[in-house]
Structure 1
Amino acid sequence: MSLHVVNEPTNIKKEIPDMTYYFISGGLPNNYGGLTKSLLLRAKLFGEESKKKTSFMTFRFDVEMHNKISELYKNGKIDQEYTSIINLFDDFLSKKTKTKRLYDEKLELEQIKKQAVMGKIAKTVSKLFGGLKNKLVITCYTDGQTIRYVDYMNDAKQVIKREEYKKNGVLALVTYYDVQINKMYLQEFINEKNEVYLDKHYVWNSEKKDVQFTHFTWYSEEGERTIKDEAELRQYWIEYLQNENDKPKLFLVDSRPQDKHVFKVKKAPSSYYAAIIHNKHYGDTKYQIKGRYKEVFSQMYNLDAIFFITEEQIEDFNLIAGEQETFFFTPHTIDKPLDSEVLNVPSEKYKAVIISRLAAMKNLTHAVKAFSLVVKEIPEATLDIYGSGEDYEKIKKEIADHNLQKNVYLKGYTNNPDHEFQKAWLTISTSHFEGFGLSNMEALSNGCPVVTYDYDYGARSLVTDGVNGYVIEQYNVEKLAEGIISLMKDESTHRQFSEQAFKMAEKYSRRNYMKNWSYALNRMIEVRKEKELLAKKVGQKALPMTLCNESEHQTKIEISSIHNEAGEQVSLIGLDRKNKAEIISVPVHNTNQFIITNQDVQYEKIAANKTQVIDFYVRFMTNGKIKSMRRLSSEQAELAKNVLFMDSGYKIEPYTTVKGNFSWKLTEPDEE
């Protein structure tokens, strides 16, 4: 496999291509994690380093979006000159509207604020507006001052309507309730001009005993539109953006739940669609695709690029999909200048530190268990754990169960992780899995060696066992403790590891980060051109199969003629219909024949993903690994009804699809 490697100076275009960049996530969480941090940093660096403008696209309705954006600009997380954060509701639906009507039923909130005492608001309001038929109840944001909701109540104290406000006092959403069932039946979305631009409709579901969403009505500039779901709304927006002008655009999806909304849009000629992989994609085995990743795999051949932050994960994607010319290595970076002076900061010999979310995937109870063994050997050893999360009580209990209250401390949030890593002797990483391991990279940039479990992904990308830390067999608590003890006792090894840690961090400098993205994006453009040229050479129509001889042990397929004047490598490929996992790959035999034996079928992939249908293609590949595929037609060949592959027990039924193409239906042995 050929991968671009950081620090490789030759044949790398330094300029990020001149495109419009859309980085896509579902929303902007209040307490965002590594995925959102990565997206924000990418947008920031594309601007600061390459002067390219980017848009952070969000889809979810969020009354706090304006405040969140202001905070990001204020805190310097993104550069307002180069990056805009845009939202489906705020920046498209609410603006591209003829509107249903003006909403003029709300009370002036300033009047309520002036005359009502917060905390006694309900009684005060009823006096102020005694002439109104309905009473009001006010709910504030956490500051106790800014109004969040205004609930309109009937005489039976039932909510009949709720007005929802942004923090700047602008009305955003009105919800109407059916008092017979105490459930909503309609929501009206309000823009800053007080116009109703979108309705969301609900009906009662007697079976589920709850209301369910039925459809949207969008009052668009072109007229009233009935829209079946939010996916359709999102697709309207992407279609609008990509057709605004002919300038090249990249729609890069960071969040897997958004894949199904973006990748099903018909791609404009000037648009490029891509995904970046942040987390582990496989389940119980490396052949089993996790549910949220199925859309990426199913769209594999329609995407212009898939970007990876570790080389190990590219290898594992190859196990399922085969090598693809659209896979690119674009690792994370350290968002700060590297300073070798960190190596001169004195470290506390018996002090370990962890800076992490206290989440289940981080498996921090193992760090505590290992430390119970460490203190038996080194009683003065300490471990400071910084962070917050849902596993706080679980970790606290683990500390108490091992009587480690004087050795292991839950320290809460730190706003100076660099300082903590610099004064610590080492850091510990015990995750079940990671996308990369940003905390480990931060530790290395401060000359702090890492003792880590060998998880996917990032452990071995960042830590070379015996060079800048120790990589321990996953879940082996005793070995983890041994690594910690060994490093705490050995000052000479610690000094060497610390120096090598800093050298590893240099690999992830800003300069190298931009090099990798520049290479990947320029190559993405070249690959699409090369694929289009190859597709013209080999044609687009399905290739007719003239012969299909099948026995219990092999299938022989013959094609009347394969026109291959350019001399490409030709193979027969069998793909899982749902996720495009590569199940079969056999080279051409005697210029126009393909022979499939039991050994050519990857039953592990079939079993892992419960493959039901395999579709067949003829693949043409150049020496530069550029591929073009043509569907295999079976209209001209007589097919056997059933064939049993005895080695596997699977029953295989060759058939011709409604479009006249060749496929296999699979039946598992236990389904007989």
Structure 2
Amino acid sequence: MATGKSLFSRFRPQAKDTANSGATSVTNSSNIVSLPADATKVTLSTTPRCYRMMLMGAFAAHPGNGLVISVLRRAQVLRDRGNQVEIVAFPFDARYRHSAQTVAKKWKFGETIRLRNPFAELAGDEYNAKAPSVDPLPAGAGWEIVADPADAKNRRAYENGVYRQFIYSDAKTRVVFIDYLDEKSARFKRSWHDNSGRIIKFEYFNAQNKPVNVEYVHNDGSVHLTAKVNEQGKEHHFELSLPDGRTGFFNTLGSLETWWLINFVFGADIWNPVISEYGFRAAVFEEVAKQRKISVAYALHNLHLTAPYSYGSAIKPELVPFFNDIKKYDAVVALTDEQRLDLVRSLDCSDNVFVIPHHFEPQRYASEKAPHSVVMSSRVVRYKGHFDAVSVWPRIVKEFPDAVLHIYGTGPDLEALRKEVNTAGLESSVLLHGFERDIVRKVSEVEIAIFPSQFEGFALSLIESMAAGTVPVAYDFKYGAQAMIEHGVNGFITERSNAVELADSVIYLMKNPKILKSMSDSSKKIVEKYNARRLGDDWIGLFDELECRFESKTNA
């Protein structure tokens, strides 16, 4: 536990000479934390804690986005420092059990990292416990199940020739839900099933085919939670009746989540450190704090601004309520100094805004790189800049006819991008590979990585590329390019939206292999700055500070 003065700097300045400054500096990997002149060292807490990380969305069996991956890596780092970690995903998810089992196994969570979900726990479901398989398909005399020849995921069940059920399955034919139909083939009910086949939720529909009521099914087969559904599809007016006799009525989902956190998650007598991914549940934690000892650090994972994504641009509408109250939070954690400084200048909130970047650990890389090769690895959406890259690719191919641009990823604009490539006659030099599970190795096989994004939250893929020695050429987007790339040393930063400068930077590197090699060697040093030790020190140091503040406030 931290004692005495706060030793955790709210600013993360670059390393500098402090020999004559009257202050002592302690190197923490990439950062220098400035301490009072009478301080000799920073002592981070070694007392084990239980860190709770609150996700915005549901789990995925194979996490693909940077936010979830960064949370899982952070959990491992804190676990490896002797702490317990619980990762909470709030939404109801029929795939929760399967996703939790898969993630826990793949990421080697063991007993010290636990995944949690309120709907699963209220239903008495523990993902690590074995569940007997149940066949949810109708069977018996008179029933016939017919597969849809156009889509193997869809099946229809007929009872004595009458269409009664529509069955939707995943790619492995596991039943996800079943729609029940009346005599007029109108849907009146839907059952949701977990990966064992067990029914975990019923939805009931009105004559307009809109859900109006839901029932959640306990492991023992009883209905333990009911709710109404409004015209916007939001559940409300929850009634809880657990097998152990506990009951409750909750007007909103937020009040149900608050009750669950108080009664299932947070102990009554201990201080609880919480990391919330974004601030969409700030009101929930505010209510929890009235009954439990918690300090919440809200982690920002993306740009908070709207177009044109520059200082002074409007805040994203969905984030306005959170940022309106930014001064009252225990901590808000940005990923870069640039974002933090934008926040403190525009919102006057320096006392509780910190900077803790993500980290990346070296992986197995290819031993050689293909000459004149370029790569983009990201979700295929227009703001990522794929169309900018394709528009200037002929400029690169004119100089180097053997040049190849490898694009990995999927997204809503993939087919439009494919059409653009085909229309330009670039099929042989711009290769759309789609999703790639071992993306780091693929990136390591390429000489140059381009990042023509309009904005990023942190660009974890930029660190991945640099760690592999793949030299980055990036637009000067907010946020992350300036934090990771030293222009002309380990990559290039070009004017945002200037695709010609981007292309000329690529051409320059291809024409100068010695410079390319030097930049490649320099880019690999990124792992010295964004490593696990630094990440662990920063988060533990932050909560040392927050615990100290909590105790000071409590004892005041």
Q: Normalised by the size of structure 2, how large is the TM-score?
A: 0.82
What displacement does 1:308 show? 2.0
Match of 2:520 among 483, 489, 498: 498
Which residue of structure 2 aligns with residue 470 of structure 1?
Answer: 492
Structure 2: distance between partners of 1:135 and 1:453: 56
Q: 1:322 to 1:529 in 2, by over 3 A?
A: farther
CA contact (8 A) 1:56 1:85 kept: yes
The answer (yes or no) to whether the contact 1:330–1:520 under 8 Å persists in 2 is: no
Question: Partner of 2:17 in structure 1?
Answer: none
Contact 1:243/1:268 (CA < 8 Å) preserved in 2?
Answer: no
Higher RCO (CA 8 Å, separation ≥ 6 residues): 2
Taking the aligned partners of 2:75 and 2:444, their CA distance within structure 1 comes to 28
List aligned pairs for 1:25-36, cutoff 5 A.
Answer: 25-30=55-60, 32-36=64-68
- Report the residue type matching 2:352 in the other structure: T
Does 2:411 correspond to 1:389?
yes
- Decide which of 11, 22, 28 is 1:3's aligned counterpart: 11
In structure 1, what is the equivalent of residue 357 of structure 2?
A: 331
Amino acid at match of 1:70: Q
Equivalent pair of 1:263/1:299 in contact (CA under 8 Å): no
1:211, 1:462 → 2: CA distance? 42
**1-side partners of 2:367 and 2:163: how far apart?**
64
**SS in structure 1 at match of 2:525:** helix
In structure 2, what residue type is equivalent to 1:156? K
Match of 1:514 in 2: 536
Q: Secondary structure at the match of 2:544?
A: helix
Give the distance between the partners of 1:306 and 1:41, measured in 2 at CA.
20
Partner Cα separation in structure 1 for residue 551 and residue 545 of structure 2: 10
Secondary structure of 1:346's match? coil
Structure number with greater Rg is 1
Contact 1:286 1:316 in 2 (8 A): yes
Give the secondary structure class of the aligned counterpart of 2:295.
strand
- DSSP 3-state at the match of 1:385: strand
**Paired residue type of 1:94:** A
Q: Are residues 1:94 and 2:102 paired?
A: no
Structure 1: distance between partners of 2:514 and 2:135: 71
- Change in 2 beyond 3 A, CA 1:45/1:270: same
Name the amino acid aligned to 2:332.
I
Per the alignment, residue 293 of structure 1 pairs with: 319
Quote how far apart the aligned CAs of 1:400 are.
2.5
Aligned equivalents of 1:438, 1:37: Cα separation in 2: 10
The 5 Å alignment of 1:39-78 reads 39-47=71-79, 49-76=80-107, 78=108
Q: For residues 198-227 of structure 1, give each alpha carbon's deviation from its aligned partner in whole angstroms, at most 9, with x where no partner exists.
A: 111247x7xxxx887552222256764332
Task: Write the letter of the residue equivalent to 1:43.
Answer: A
Deviation at 1:387, TM superposition (A): 1.2
Pair 1:424–1:226, CA change in 2 (3 A) = same
Q: Report the Cα offset of residue 20 of structure 1.
A: 2.3
| Aligned positions of 1:476-491 closer than 5 A | 476-491=498-513
Shift of 1:484: 0.7
- Any idea what SS the aligned residue of 1:119 has? strand
Map 1:165-244 onto structure 2 (within 5 A).
165-179=193-207, 181-202=208-229, 215-219=237-241, 224-241=247-264, 244=267
**Aligned residue in 2 for 1:313:** 339
- Matched residue type, 1:3: F
Does 1:164 find its partner at 2:186? no
**Equivalent residue runs for 1:120-139 within 5 Å:** 125-126=159-160, 136-139=164-167
**Are the counterparts in 2 of residues 242 and 271 from structure 1 also a CA contact under 8 Å?**
no
Give 3-state SS (helix, strand or coil) of 2:165's partner.
strand
Tell me which amino acid in the other structure corresponds to 2:74.
R
Give the aligned partner of residue 274 of structure 1. 297
Rate the CA distance shift 1:270–1:477 in 2: closer, same or farther, 3 A: same
Aligned partner letter, 1:515? D
Which position in structure 2 is the counterpart of 1:442?
464
Counterpart mapping for 1:447-596 below 5 A: 447-529=469-551, 536=556
Of 230-239 and 272-281, more deviation after overlay is shown by 230-239
Question: Structure 1 430/531 Cα, relative in aligned 2: closer, same or farther at 3 Å?
Answer: farther
Q: In the alignment, which residue of structure 2 is the partner of 1:632?
A: none
> How much does 1:122 deviate?
5.5
**Secondary structure in 2 matching 1:354:** strand
**Cα distance, 1:532–1:297 mapped onto 2, change above 3 Å:** farther
Superposed CA offset, 1:160-188 (max 9, x none)? 33322222021111223344x44443221
Distance in 2 separating the partners of 1:246 and 1:146: 43
Matching residue of 1:364: 386
Contact 2:386 2:417 in 1 (8 A): yes
Match of 1:414 in 2: 436
Q: Conserved in 2, the CA contact under 8 Å of 1:12 and 1:515?
A: no
Q: Which AA in structure 2 matches 1:495?
A: K
Q: Distance in 1 between matches of 2:523 and 2:143?
A: 60
Q: Please tell me the residue identity of whatever aligns with 1:451.
A: V
Aligned to 1:653: none
Q: Could you tell me the percent identity over the aligned residues?
A: 22
Is the 2:370–2:447 contact (alpha carbons within 8 Å) kept by the matching residues of 1? yes
- Structure-1 separation of matches of 2:427 and 2:178: 47
Change (3 A) 1:149 1:300: closer
Report the CA distance shift for 1:135/1:152 in structure 2 as closer, same or farther (over 3 A). Answer: farther
2:221 and 2:53 map into 1 onto residues whose CA distance is 30
1:353 aligned to 366, 375, 379, which one? Answer: 375
Q: Equivalent residue of 1:68, what SS?
A: helix
**Post-superposition shift, 1:360?**
2.8
Matches within 5 A, 1:105-124: 109=136, 112=139, 118-119=145-146
User: 8 Å contact 1:13–1:522 — kept in the other structure?
Assistant: no
Matched-pair contact (CA < 8 Å) for 1:247–1:270: yes
Query: How many residues were matched structurally?
Result: 505
Partner SS, residue 316 of structure 1:
helix
Question: Could you tell me which residue of structure 2 aligns to residue 668 of structure 1?
Answer: none
- CA deviation map 1:203-253 (0-9, x unaligned): 7x7xxxx88755222225676433222121112222335653312212221
In the TM superposition, what whole-angstrom CA distance separates every residue of 1:298-355 from its partner, at most 9, and x where no partner exists?
3333322222221111111111222523222211111346x8xx6x933233111112
Counterpart Cα distance in 2 of 1:525 and 1:29:
29
Between 239-248 and 348-357, the greater mean CA deviation after superposition: 239-248
1:356 CA drift (Å): 1.4
Question: Is the CA contact 1:275–1:296 (under 8 Å) kept in the aligned structure 2?
Answer: no
Equivalence map 1:522-671=2 (5 Å): 522-529=544-551, 536=556
Displacement of 1:152 in angstroms is: 3.6
Q: CA RMSD in A?
A: 3.0
Distance 2:253 2:326 in 1: 24
Consecutive unaligned residues in structure 2, runs of 5 or more: 1-8, 14-27, 34-39, 126-133, 148-154
Question: Which amino acid in structure 2 is aligned with residue 225 of structure 1?
Answer: G
Taking a change above 3 Å as real, the CA distance of residues 183 and 419 of structure 1, as seen in their structure-2 partners, is closer
Instruction: Give 1:153 shift.
Output: 3.3
Deviation per CA, 1:596-650, whole angstroms, max 9, x where unpaired?
A: xxxxxxxxxxxxxxxxxxxxxxxxxxxxxxxxxxxxxxxxxxxxxxxxxxxxxxx
Question: What is the one-letter code of the residue matched to 1:158?
Answer: A
In structure 2, the residue corresponding to 1:499 is in which secondary structure? helix
Contact (CA 8 Å) 1:20, 1:248: kept in 2 or not?
A: no
Q: 1:144, 1:281 → 2: CA distance?
A: 38
CA distance in structure 2 between the partners assigned to 1:195 and 1:225 by the alignment: 16
**Structure 1 residues without counterparts, runs of 5 or longer:** 97-106, 128-133, 537-672
Quick check: 1:487–1:493 contact (8 Å CA) kept in 2? yes
Deviation at 1:123, TM superposition (A): 6.0
Distance in 1 between residues matched to 2:291 and 2:41, nearest whole Å: 30
